[in-house]
């Protein structure tokens, strides 16, 4: 079913909207949740929450791209759930690694309390991504948006894991330089 | 600002980038297999797009039990090292080219669990008891905050939070993470893990791994207790090594113990390095690297940089066997840092080996 038809079902308040969403984008959402949570049951619960969030938000929202819209909700819910679990010291998630790698983009002198304008940060990150080649950008986002493991990325981009690791290292370094140049950090 | 703020900002970028980067193939059965493979880490496991190598070892006579094993080598990316890592690491492997060996022990891993990450010889309660015993011996009090270490539904270790740090027990070892100021606990853990004391002699070296860019990727200290013979040294080095890594103000001491939950099958006759090299040159090797990765497109004397002898231990292995590991020059990246791919030749004498079948991998 086309996205526009699924969205029509949401607007018509038909529960079939959830079934069709699950059929078309269930695997995509589970993949994102599982990368972050590393647990089937939690991932499924997280994706169910995504559907509920979509049900409650469409209408009034009318997503331009349903897949990405659902992916963003899943990612946000999964990371919140991950934070809860990390407080409970449950391990196994790649999110911990992803967050610690991103931590490396922030100067050590910058404190947690140092606030920033999120809009400026998003714009700077987009500027940085725009300057990357398509492949490098996609690899960066597979790691830091989708939280995919280095092994999964290596498999999907037909590269060695060490090459992916090195490429990500270089990109984090460049991102930090870019954020410094833009006086974000 | 923290890494999390950056993570959240990334979550709000233009959707077109997110859409472009979306995984193209998603299959959870594939993913489950792949995660297991990743955890095995030493590239000797089932993985999408890899090579499957199965072999049966058959005893020549009644002295040695009949055994069989299976290995699947990772196919995407390959296992190896580079000139910087080699140059900037100490080599404490007790084996060297001058060592003459007639036999080496082969062990059956009683924790082996086919196709799974978890090793089943120990259940969660066994691991919990191991962690508690270790914490008791180290004088680290833990209260009631026991936590299992899991990957998906599979529990593969047990972790205790104590007032001094974390204690973790695994079927094949243990580790503790404590503050730098509690370094004495790291030494005590190492001794406790091997029933040794400060009087026992150790061999220690620093290993530095570099990324393909020439940046330091990881540095760790590796140690093992010296034994009374070269074979004992080889076993201690391969089966009971200790690692020290630092992160911020914390240090982690890890002790492998692959002898834990393993059964010695017997002392198997082994081939010499020269014989292994002949097998390598004939193409009788196991590797996650295709020969096309090798400099010049084929393995010749000229591209073999060095060799050592190791046991395959990392991951969920059915048997712990000795292998000659050859460092073969492979194509380097843009920065001219020489890369080496690992090619393995089983050190056990040929007549104890059954026919080896190599399956060119496709998605499982």
Q: What is the CATH number of the domain that holds A136?
A: 1.10.10.10
B54 compared with B172, residue with greater pLDDT: B172
The range of the structural domain enclosing residue A99 comes to: 95-181
**Does the structure show a pLDDT above 80 at B219?**
yes
pLDDT at position B42 is 28
Q: Which of residues 74-133 of B touch A (CB under 8 A)?
A: 76-78
Size of interface A-B (CB pairs under 8 A): 175
* pLDDT at position B92 over 60: yes
Q: Cβ(A122)–Cβ(B9) under 8 Å?
A: yes
For residue B358, the model assigns a pLDDT of 39
Given this model, what pLDDT does residue A180 score? 85
* Beta strands B80-82; B67-73: pairing state: unpaired
Residue B155 falls within a domain, yes or no? Answer: no
Q: Which of B1, B10, B38 sits opposite A114 (nearest CB)?
A: B1
Q: Is B239 a member of any domain? A: no
C-alpha closest to that of A22 among A58, A52, A65, A56: A52
Give the end of a domain, one of A87, A119, A143.
A87
Q: Is A110 found in the same domain as A38?
A: no
Domain co-membership, A78 together with A140: no
Same domain, A116 and A170: yes
Q: Is A138 found in the same domain as A71?
A: no
B14 vs A contacts (CB less than 8 Å)? 126
- What mean pLDDT do residues B271-282 have? 94
Other beta carbons less than 10 A from residue A8's beta carbon: 14
Neighbours of A175 (CB within 10 A): 22
Q: How far apart are CA B80 and CA B68, in angstroms?
A: 26
B134 within a domain of the structure (yes/no): no
B294 contact partners, CB below 8 Å, separation of at least 6: B303, B328, B329, B330, B331, B341
On whether both A105 and A78 belong to a single domain, the answer is no
What would the mean pLDDT of B206-222 be, rounded to a whole number? Answer: 80
Tens of pLDDT along B11-50?
A: 888 888 898 888 764 433 222 222 222 223 222 322 323 3
**Residue B291 belongs to a domain:** yes
User: Can you read off the two tokens belonging to residue B33?
Assistant: 């297999």
Sheet holding B357-360, edge to edge: B67-73, B51-57, B357-360
Q: What order of strands is seen across the sheet that includes strand B250-256? A: B146-151, B154-161, B165-170, B173-179, B250-256, B242-247, B216-225, B202-210
For residues A26 and A74, membership in a common domain is answered with yes
Q: Is residue B351 part of a domain?
A: yes
DSSP per residue, A12-50: TT-THHHHHHHHHHHHHHHHHHHHHH--HHHHHHHHHHH
Q: Do A166 and B34 touch (CB under 8 A)?
A: no
Q: What is the CA radius of gyration of chain A?
A: 18
Question: Does the beta-carbon distance from B150 to A90 stay under 8 Å?
Answer: yes
Same domain, A154 and A128: yes
Q: Do B209 and B219 contact (CB within 8 A), yes or no?
A: yes
Domain tally for chain A? 2
Tell me B76's DSSP state: S
Asked if residues B42 and B11 have their Cβ atoms less than 8 Å apart, the reply is no
Q: Which of residues 44-83 of B touch A (CB under 8 A)?
A: 48-49, 76-78
**CA nearest B168 in A: which residue?**
A91
Residues A58 and A107 in one domain: no
Contact between chains at A68 and B217 (C-beta distance less than 8 A): no
Domain check: are A17 and A34 in the same one?
Answer: yes
pLDDT of residue B55: 37
Q: Which residue range(s) make up the domain with B98?
A: 31-111+264-360
Distance between start and end Cα atoms, chain B: 43
Q: How confident is the model at residue A108 (pLDDT cuts 50, 70, 90)?
A: low
Helix (H) or strand (E) run with residue B225 in it: strand B216-225
Q: Residue B151's pLDDT is what? A: 52
Mean pLDDT of A94-107: 77
Q: Which residue has the higher pLDDT, B50 or B285?
A: B285
- The reply to whether A101 and A34 lie within a common domain is no
On whether any CB of chain A is under 8 Å from the CB of B150, the answer is yes
In-domain check, residue B314: yes
Domain count, chain B: 1
Provide the 8-state DSSP code for B44: B
By C-alpha distance, which of B109, B112, B33 is closest to B75?
A: B33
Return the residue in A166, A167, A172, A185 with the most chain B beta carbons within 10 A, the one to mutate for interface testing. A166
Chain A residues in contact with B153 (beta carbon < 8 A): 39-41
- Is B85 inside a domain boundary? yes
What is the band of A27 on the pLDDT scale with cuts at 50, 70, 90?
confident
Q: Is the peptide bond before A60 cis (omega within 30 degrees of 0)?
A: yes
Token match 């984008």: residue?
A25
pLDDT band for position B157 (cuts 50, 70, 90): confident
Does one domain contain both A72 and A139?
no
- Cβ contact, residue pair B76, A154, below 8 Å: yes
The Cα B77–Cα B91 span in angstroms is 25
Instruction: Report the percent of chain A where pLDDT is more than 90.
Output: 18
Residue B97 has pLDDT above 60, yes or no: yes
Domain final residue pick, A66, A87, A108: A87
Q: Are residues A106 and A169 in the same domain?
A: yes
- Average pLDDT of the segment spanning A89-115: 66
Among B140, B156, B157, B146, smallest CA distance to B192 is for: B140
């Amino acid at each position: 079913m086309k996205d526009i038809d699924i969205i029509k079902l949401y607007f018509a308040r038909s529960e079939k909207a959830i079934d069709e969403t699950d059929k078309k984008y269930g695997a995509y959402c589970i993949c994102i949740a599982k990368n972050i949570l590393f647990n089937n049951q939690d991932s499924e619960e997280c994706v169910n929450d995504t559907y509920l969030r979509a049900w409650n938000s469409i209408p009034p929202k009318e997503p331009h791209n349903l897949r990405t819209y659902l992916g963003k909700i899943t990612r946000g819910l999964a990371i919140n759930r991950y934070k809860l679990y990390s407080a409970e010291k449950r391990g196994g998630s790649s999110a911990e690694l992803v967050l610690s790698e991103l931590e490396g983009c922030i100067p050590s002198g910058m404190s947690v309390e140092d606030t920033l304008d999120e809009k400026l940060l998003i714009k700077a990150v987009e500027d940085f991504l725009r300057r990357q080649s398509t492949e490098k950008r996609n690899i960066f986002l597979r790691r830091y948006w989708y939280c995919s493991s280095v092994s999964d990325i290596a498999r999907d981009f037909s590269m060695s894991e060490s090459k992916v690791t090195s490429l990500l290292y270089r990109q984090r370094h460049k991102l930090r330089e870019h954020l410094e140049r833009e006086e974000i950090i | 600002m923290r890494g999390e703020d950056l993570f959240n900002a990334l979550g709000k970028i233009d959707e077109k980038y997110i859409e472009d980067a979306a995984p193209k193939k998603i299959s959870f059965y594939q993913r489950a297999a792949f995660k297991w493979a990743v955890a095995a880490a030493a590239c000797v496991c089932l993985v999408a797009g890899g090579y499957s190598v199965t072999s049966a070892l058959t005893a020549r006579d009644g002295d040695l039990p009949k055994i069989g094993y299976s290995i699947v080598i990772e196919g995407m990316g390959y296992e190896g090292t580079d000139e910087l890592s080699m140059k900037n690491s100490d080599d404490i492997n007790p084996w060297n080219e001058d060592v003459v060996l007639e036999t080496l022990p082969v062990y059956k891993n009683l924790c082996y669990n086919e196709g799974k990450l978890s090793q089943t010889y120990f259940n969660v309660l066994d691991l919990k008891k191991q962690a508690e015993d270790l914490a008791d011996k180290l004088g680290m009090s833990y209260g009631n905050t026991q936590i299992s270490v899991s990957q998906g539904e599979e529990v593969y270790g047990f972790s205790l939070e104590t007032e001094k740090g974390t204690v973790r027990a695994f079927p094949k070892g243990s580790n503790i993470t404590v503050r730098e100021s509690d370094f004495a606990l790291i030494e005590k853990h190492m001794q406790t893990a091997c029933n040794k004391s400060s009087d026992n002699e150790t061999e220690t070296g620093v290993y530095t791994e570099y990324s393909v860019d020439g940046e330091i990727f990881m540095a760790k200290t590796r140690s093992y207790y010296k034994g009374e013979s070269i074979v004992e040294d080889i076993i201690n080095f391969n089966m009971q090594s200790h690692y020290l890594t630092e992160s911020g103000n914390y240090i982690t001491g890890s002790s492998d113990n692959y002898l834990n939950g393993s059964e010695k099958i017997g002392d198997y006759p082994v081939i010499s390095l020269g014989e292994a090299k002949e097998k390598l040159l004939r193409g009788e090797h196991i590797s996650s690297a295709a020969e096309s990765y090798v400099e010049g497109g084929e393995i010749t004397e000229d591209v073999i940089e060095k060799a050592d002898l190791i046991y395959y231990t990392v991951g969920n292995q059915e048997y712990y066997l000795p292998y000659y590991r050859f460092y073969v020059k492979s194509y380097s990246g843009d920065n001219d840092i020489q890369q080496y791919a690992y090619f393995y030749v089983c050190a056990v004498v040929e007549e104890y080996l059954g026919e080896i079948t190599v399956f060119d991998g496709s998605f499982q």
